[in-house]
Amino acid sequence: MPPPPQYPPPGFPPLPGAPPPGYGYPHQRPTDGMAITSLVLGILAFPGICCYGIVGLALGITAVILGRIALGRIRNSNGILGGHGVAQAGWICGLVAACLAALYFFFSLVLGAFTVFSFLTTASPSP
């Protein structure tokens, strides 16, 4: 003889004392789209540093701005929107990438200026 089912088939009333279907699963709040965009741009800013730092700097600054706006929207939504951690990770990644990109851009600029200066001041042999 098979054991009795824990839940009745669809269309029948629930068994007395049985938890309703889906019990125990928290309600998922929708994640703010601006928070997701901030995280994506913050992650993409790291490879963008390789383009002399310009692309990484632009993406990083954009990620910081979008992440901070998303945090404000999430706080003001009174629990309707989720994604606080995603927004925070996005603006932090953007900030780190923007700082690294600015350092790399400055280093490239100084190195290029030094190279040009040394080329112009070096005496070349005359024929």
Band of residue 70 on the pLDDT scale cut at 50, 70, 90:
very high
Higher pLDDT, 125 or 111: 111
For residues 102 and 76, what is the distance between their CA atoms, to the nearest angstrom? 33
For residues 74 and 76, what is the distance between their CA atoms, to the nearest angstrom? 5
Token digits for 43?
Answer: 């992650």
**Segment 30-62, tens digit of pLDDT:** 999 999 999 999 999 999 999 888 999 999 999
* pTM tops 0.85, yes or no: no
Q: Tally the residues of the chain.
A: 127
Check pLDDT > 60 for residue 119. yes
Domain extents in the chain: 33-118
Are 81 and 30 a contacting pair, CB within 8 Å?
yes
Task: Give the 3-state secondary structure of residue 55.
Answer: helix
